[in-house]
Amino acid sequence: MPLVHALWSPGRGLLLWAEHDRGPAGTSSRSAQIALPHPFAVSSAQLTALHPGKPTSATLLLPSRANRPLASSEPAAGGKRRGPAPSLRPWSVPALIVDATELDDLDDSASYGASVTYLRAVARLAADLVRRGRVLPTLVRQGDAAEARWRPVLQGVDFVAVDALVAAMPPVGRAEQVAPLTGASPRALVSDALHTLVDTAVRDRLARADPPVDLRGAGGAAGVWLAALQGGDPRVELPLDELGVVADAVEKWDEVADTDVVDGRACFRLAEVGTLRQPDADDPDDQTGDGTKWQLQFLLRATADPSLLLSAGQIWSGEANGLVRDPKGLFVAELGRAALVEPMLAPALRRTRPSEYDLTVEEAEQFLTSGATRLIEAGFEVQLPATWDGRRRLGLRLSVRSTPSEQVVTRSRVGRDELAGFRWSIAVGDAEIGEDELAKLVAAKTPLVRLRGRWISVDADRLRAGLEFLRRDPRRHTQGPTAGELLELVHLGQEAPLPVTDVSADGWVGDVLAGRVHRTLQPVELPASFRATLRPYQQRGVAWLAFMSALGLGACLADDMGLGKTVQTLALEAFERADQDRRPTLVLCPMSLVGMWQREAANFAPGLRVLAHHGSARAHGDELAEQVAAADLVVTTYATAARDAGELEAFAWRRLVLDEAHAIKNADTATAKAVRRFPAGHRLALTGTPVENRLADLWSVLDLLNPGLLGSRFEFRQRFAVPIERRGDTATAAALRRLTQPYLLRRVKTDPAIVPELPEKLEIRQEYRLTREQGTLYRAIVDEMMKKIENSQGIKRRGNILAAITKLKQVCNHPAHLLHDGSPIGRRSGKVVRLEEILAEILASGDRVLCFTQYTEFGHLLVPHLSAHLGAEVAFLHGSLAKGARDAIVERFQAGDGPRILLLSLKAGGSGLTLTAASQVLHLDRWWNPAVENQATDRAFRIGQGRTVQVRKFVCPGTIEDRIDTLITRKRALAGMVVGEGESWLTELSTDALRETLTLGEDAIDD
């Protein structure tokens, strides 16, 4: 995945360029001042595919070592690599000139560096200055040529914001070469960007104003200048003497633009100045209100004396002279600035002496609900009527009485009769109104109405729709919807014209909406055939799953890694099958977990009949139908499910289980589309990372579980993703949590209720599968080495065996580790792909992790790849590091301010260190000496460790890793031999036994 960078280029604007996430080959020796093509920059064609723009090129000064630029994931300093310190050298890169307003609409197939986020902040400041009217027109002269431009006006906090941007500019943002080995000044770049972006934004705002704003009405030299301020061509073509007159006049504004000294601020007062008709004498709370006359009055508040508020009449009559400096000029300037913020004011400014503006009811409502806020944010004073009560949210209120949660679990399904009481009503803000009162509001046909003595803004069409809903909906007083329909109504207002703004509920409905079901439910009684002893939090999890299943609601069990999602699912299956429901459950999982499901079911729920449906020999047609009918659990892979979708969707599944559910986080993939077609009475997702990168991941999972619950993907993006991801809207984030909590159960290892229930150390066999490339190499190594072994004896035979084991371990790691060719990592290794998934989950949970490998070369391959793929720093502790560098890595990791992923070579990091900041330990390639592995694990699992340590040992079934792991497990008597001699005991096996041990199994390769 390419990494995209951004920079501001004076005269050209915003540039994007990108680099591939792999290290390049070194370039030939050359002068440090000659710009050669960047060896791993993304081409112009690839850039254009990521984002539309005008192709160009740029010369950048980048940290370089050994005649090549460092990849962005490589450390530029700090002792993490041996060799000379990097130096700045020029490199030529393809680039795109793009519109800065498009920075929020980028392609998800690339990752974006800090420079993109930084320039988004610059663009936001420019847009905010324009929105607040902090701009002035100016004239830029270069010799005899001149251009009309809009410039930013910086005052108070805006100076602080600019200084912060200058200080925060990332190095790549100032990397464009402007002189030999010299980049641009950060302050000059920020200033140029703000001036350019502000000018563009104001022109765009004028072009889109409604009603239209025309600055070109004036004649003479001023008219030419004004026309150039509004059109697309900024050139001002005037004789030099007339140009000088305009420049002198504009210069006075420039002199006071960037200062806090302002004599006054415009004030806008909205007043009720009478009625066109008398209200109903019999109704003191006359709600129609359409006879009120609204007027917007213009005033000026003195800065030196805030108690001095001057009316427009005082200013135009000359009474304000001497009270503020140039009151008429200041008043006109302030009104003009306000018109840029609120275009509604533009018609009033066309008058010779503007003083007030009569508003229609619609304009008054617009000013009250939005225009006033915009003016206040821009620094103006606004006075509103005391009777204004704001925009009141219009919505439905729902009252529900339901059966207790405990009774729900005992039923196989909950229907409409479970809702004992169900009643709708309409609310305007906090006030509930009856149908008669609502009918009067509807009859008013105006957006501003007087309700109980207060002015409020309402949507007349939605009021009418709400009244019709109450009158026609037969369920509002008696029969209610099903569980799924009810929750859809509550959360998204589906089937209703208004959102549900308030719910009063008891029983299971109240428990679900409050997200407390898993705490209030009592454990279910598991059958005697279920052999596992569940921990209390797991018992609560099973009860919650049974509750959601009874309601027919899809559920996401999002417990942390190691908390037992699989065993809870098996317990649910065993519990429900005690009711004689023998319909099969379909389990989808990565290939690496198929064997795990088989083993876990055999260990904990031996009464469940398990069918593994994968591989080239899997059944089809009638044979498959017979096997499915005879099974309780059908376990298959996501890839197989996509290929066999036509057959699998023909079965009526009791439940669809999605293990590692982030596999369907992209709803557009063929796999996700196929899975959505599988019919199931209940859907269950298992994942420790319901959100990996974007909120769209969460939508994809939950929409598959409960289709339509979160609205369409577009609706979800507009309602939640954009406000949360782009603007950091905490209120929207809280609303999303409330919306999703009924369907998502998440427990983490650090929960106070969980910590006491966990053992001090969890050891997990982490399975994965080889890619086809790995499988081909594995078989070739076995064939080649067995010929050598068969024809050798004694020490030479033992050497050949150990060489074969080493090569097989290397190919299990990655083909590039075996071939030593420096080829890209990509997705060529099942172990690396699985490692990426686990590390992403660990990072999402906030933990720190130790990754042990016995091969330093493999570590050097992983560091840049994982850093670029995960967007996180990865430290590597190995034997070639000096003591100072080694101590610095350990100190940073332990202090908590360094990298959260620490890769260690087994020999350098396996003893003598205290790394208790980590609560996760991964053994990537097995050292078949348990004592050595345990010694490495004890870097984290030792005195001072206050958390449970999870230890994962990577094993590929059907390979040398699996065979020896099985031998060690079954024949514990071998442990002493292994401790004493490492892997040398293998050299004593017969040739037939050795061939059986090394031969690749059928289930080792991902299908």
- Assess whether pLDDT exceeds 70 at residue 852: yes
Which of 26-35, 522-531, 576-585, 785-794 reaches the highest mean pLDDT? 522-531
- Assess whether pLDDT exceeds 50 at residue 415: no
* pLDDT tens per residue across span 434-448: 667 777 777 767 777
Instruction: Work out the percent of the chain whose per-residue pLDDT is above 70.
Output: 77
Q: Any idea where the domains of the chain sit in the sequence?
A: 3-203, 264-386, 391-514, 517-755, 764-998
Higher pLDDT, 641 or 748: 641
* pLDDT of res. 973: 35
Superfamily of domain 517-755: Tandem AAA-ATPase domain (3.40.50.10810)
CB of 632 closer than 8 Å to CB of 608 = yes
H or E element in which residue 366 lies: helix 361-366
Higher pLDDT, 119 or 259: 119
Q: How confident is the model at residue 261 (pLDDT cuts 50, 70, 90)?
A: very low
Higher pLDDT, 352 or 81: 352
In the three-class reduction of DSSP (H, G, I as helix; E, B as strand; rest coil), residue 658 is classed as strand
Question: Average per-residue pLDDT in the chain?
Answer: 79
CB of 726 closer than 8 Å to CB of 717 = no
- Assess whether pLDDT exceeds 80 at residue 135: yes
CB of 400 closer than 8 Å to CB of 477 = no
Q: Which of 356, 385, 397, 374 is nearest to 289 (CA)?
A: 385
- Assess whether pLDDT exceeds 90 at residue 751: no
Higher pLDDT, 951 or 734: 951
Higher pLDDT, 579 or 45: 45
* pLDDT tens per residue across span 282-307: 444 444 445 678 899 999 988 777 88
How do beta strands 901-905 and 849-853 pair? parallel
Q: What is the mean pLDDT of residues 821-836?
A: 89
CB-neighbour burial class of residue 577 (10 A; exposed 0-12, middle 13-18, buried 19+) = buried
**Greatest CA span in the chain, whole angstroms?**
116
Cα 625 versus chain centre, distance: 41
CB of 264 closer than 8 Å to CB of 303 = yes
Reported in sequence order, the residue ranges of 109-211 that DSSP labels E, i.e. its strands, are 111-112, 135-142, 145-152, 177-179, 182-183
Q: Which of 73, 59, 62, 51 is nearest to 825 (CA)?
A: 73
* pLDDT tens per residue across span 770-809: 998 998 999 998 888 888 888 888 788 888 888 888 899 9
* pLDDT of res. 208: 79
Q: How confident is the model at residue 36 (pLDDT cuts 50, 70, 90)?
A: confident
Q: How confident is the model at residue 829 (pLDDT cuts 50, 70, 90)?
A: very high
Question: CA dist 591 to 569, 595, 638, Å?
Answer: 18, 8, 8
Q: How confident is the model at residue 509 (pLDDT cuts 50, 70, 90)?
A: low
Q: Which of 119-128, 509-518, 634-643, 897-906 is least confident?
A: 509-518
With b meaning 16 or more CB within 10 Å and e meaning fewer, what string describes 260-284? eeeebbbbbbbeeeeeeeebeeeee
Q: Which of 706-715, 764-773, 839-848 is least confident?
A: 706-715
* pLDDT of res. 859: 92
Q: Which of 590, 570, 574 is nearest to 582 (CA)?
A: 574
Q: Rounded to whole angstroms, how far apart are CA atoms 44 and 96?
A: 7
Q: How confident is the model at residue 660 (pLDDT cuts 50, 70, 90)?
A: confident
Other CB atoms within a 10 A radius of the CB of residue 624 amount to 19
H or E element in which residue 504 lies: strand 500-505
Which of 192-201, 335-344, 444-453 reaches the highest mean pLDDT? 192-201
In the three-class reduction of DSSP (H, G, I as helix; E, B as strand; rest coil), residue 76 is classed as coil
Identify the residue whose tokens are 């619950």: 709
Other CB atoms within a 10 A radius of the CB of residue 465 amount to 16
* pLDDT of res. 38: 87
CB of 100 closer than 8 Å to CB of 14 = yes
* pLDDT of res. 396: 66
- Assess whether pLDDT exceeds 60 at residue 981: no
* pLDDT of res. 505: 65
Q: What is the mean pLDDT of residues 751-765?
A: 74
CATH of the structural domain 764-998, one choice from 3.40.50.970, 3.40.50.300, 3.40.190.100, 1.10.357.10: 3.40.50.300
* pLDDT tens per residue across span 662-690: 788 888 888 889 999 999 989 999 987 77
Q: How confident is the model at residue 501 (pLDDT cuts 50, 70, 90)?
A: low
Higher pLDDT, 432 or 822: 822
Q: How many Å is the Cα radius of gyration of the chain? A: 35
Equal CATH topology for 517-755 and 764-998:
yes
Q: Rounded to whole angstroms, how far apart are CA atoms 614 and 621?
A: 14
* pLDDT of res. 414: 47
* pLDDT of res. 416: 38
* pLDDT of res. 861: 92
Instruction: Work out the percent of the chain whose per-residue pLDDT is above 90.
Output: 20
Cα 701 versus chain centre, distance: 14
- Assess whether pLDDT exceeds 50 at residue 28: no
* pLDDT tens per residue across span 360-396: 888 888 888 888 888 888 778 899 887 786 666 666 6
* pLDDT of res. 975: 35
Q: How confident is the model at residue 974 (pLDDT cuts 50, 70, 90)?
A: very low
* pTM over the 0.85 mark: no
- Non-local (6+) Cβ contacts of 107 within 8 A are 49, 50, 51
DSSP 198: H
Per-residue HEC secondary structure of 694-755 comes to: CHHHHHHHHHHHCCCCCCCHHHHHHHHHHHHHHHCCHHHHHHHHHHHHHHEECCCCCCCCCH
Region of 133 (left: φ > 0; alpha: ψ -120 to 50; beta: rest) is left
- Assess whether pLDDT exceeds 80 at residue 258: no
* pLDDT of res. 902: 93
- Assess whether pLDDT exceeds 60 at residue 876: yes
Q: Which of 940, 885, 889, 935 is nearest to 914 (CA)?
A: 940
DSSP 25: P
Q: How confident is the model at residue 412 (pLDDT cuts 50, 70, 90)?
A: very low
* pLDDT of res. 726: 75
CB of 573 closer than 8 Å to CB of 529 = no
Q: Which of 155-164, 190-199, 589-598, 657-666 is least confident?
A: 155-164
- Assess whether pLDDT exceeds 60 at residue 22: no
